[in-house]
Amino acid sequence: MNSYQPIKRSTFASFICICFLTSIFIVSSAPANALDPLDVDSFSVETATQDIRPLFDTGMLELYEISKFLGYTDKARFKIVEQVQNYDMVTFLGDSIMLSAIGEAYPINQNAFEGMMGNYTRTLVIDTEIGRQLTNSNEIVEDLSEKGKLGEVLVIGLGTNGAWELEKSIEDLIMAANKHSVSQILFINTRCPSTPSSVNRELKKAEERHDNVELIDWNKTSSSTDSYFSDECHVQYRSTSLSLGVVAYQSLIDNWFSEQKEKVLKVDEQMTLLDKTNSHIRRSVRMDIFFY
């Protein structure tokens, strides 16, 4: 009888370990206060595989050793939930075209856009006004800076209403933004029959002149799709869902920011797998772990 008890306990313990190891574990920990150079402080989905013994915290190391002892595997696979936010603040400056697509004119559009941009920035500023021109837009940039509302990225949706001294207006705007350390300027070009074609040409020339200026080509995306618009200029509005025009406009912006996010992750991939895995484990908000 005495020799039976240890065997029974050992069998029961092994059974518990097997059940435990074949389940999915969720480990929660608070994110680190300090940000690394990649600015990853909360966490999108990524998978890493570790072929050698990981430098886990106490508890996770024990789990790994138990798995190895039982002969399950020498590999642990980690599904790390993370959100990469590249910027502290992004500012959108525009006219009624931008207002209708992402601004407060239509809350359903604005709410969708704010949710999307939450993937890329901590603070989002949208400053739009009906009838706004490129002329003297540099003064608006100065005002935004004084109010602490000018972000690292400035997205400009102006030009539909024309401008006096078009090239000068664009250059003055860029100069004002650069003076206040805006790192990236994005111009969304125009698509409106009443807008002179010279506007888009000058915006393209500005992109060619300045390394930190890029063009988001709304004109090309929407040129053959009249169904996007309510009046050939402004995107259609729906009260219960996003219209095709709104989706297309917001997607162009999303694509640009998504590409910047991928660039950050590519730099991250240059870390060694072991360092990368451990860094993410220590700083993740949630991590799903399973052995195979």
Given a cut of 90, is residue 64 above it in pLDDT?
no
75 lies in the same domain as 97: no
- Long-range pairs for 219-228: beta carbons < 8 A, 24 or more residues apart: 219/189, 219/190, 219/191, 221/248, 221/252, 222/191, 222/248, 222/249, 223/191
Residues 122 and 89: beta-carbon distance below 8 Å: yes
What's the pLDDT at 223? 87
pLDDT per residue over 8-42, tens digit each? 455 555 555 555 444 433 333 333 333 233 333 33
104 lies in the same domain as 175: yes
pLDDT per residue over 119-132, tens digit each? 899 999 999 999 99
What's the pLDDT at 285? 32
What's the pLDDT at 5? 46
Of 91, 98, 104, 93, residue with least CA distance to 218? 98
59 lies in the same domain as 193: no
* CATH number of the domain residue 146 falls in: 3.40.50.1110
Q: What is the Cα gyration radius of the chain?
A: 26
Local structure of 111: helix, strand or coil: helix
Range of the domain at 58: 4-83+265-291
Ranges of H-type helices in 22-106: 60-69, 96-102
225 lies in the same domain as 130: yes
Residues 237 and 230: beta-carbon distance below 8 Å: yes
CA 87 – CA 22 distance, rounded (Å): 39
Reported as a pLDDT band with limits 50, 70 and 90, residue 85 is low
- When divided into structural domains, the chain yields a total of 2
Local structure of 141: helix, strand or coil: helix
135 lies in the same domain as 191: yes
Reported as a pLDDT band with limits 50, 70 and 90, residue 262 is confident
What's the pLDDT at 282? 38
Reported as a pLDDT band with limits 50, 70 and 90, residue 265 is low
70 lies in the same domain as 95: no
Task: Indicate the average pLDDT of the chain.
Answer: 74
32 lies in the same domain as 61: yes
159 lies in the same domain as 91: yes
pLDDT per residue over 207-227, tens digit each? 999 999 999 999 999 988 889
Sign of the four-CA dihedral 182, 186, 188, 189: positive
141 lies in the same domain as 157: yes
Residue 256 inside a domain? The answer is no
- CA 142 to chain centroid, in Å, comes to 26
Predicted TM-score of the model (pTM): 0.66
187 lies in the same domain as 272: no
Instruction: Mean pLDDT check: name the lowest of 53-62, 138-147, 168-177.
Output: 53-62
Residue 44: strand pairing partners? 82
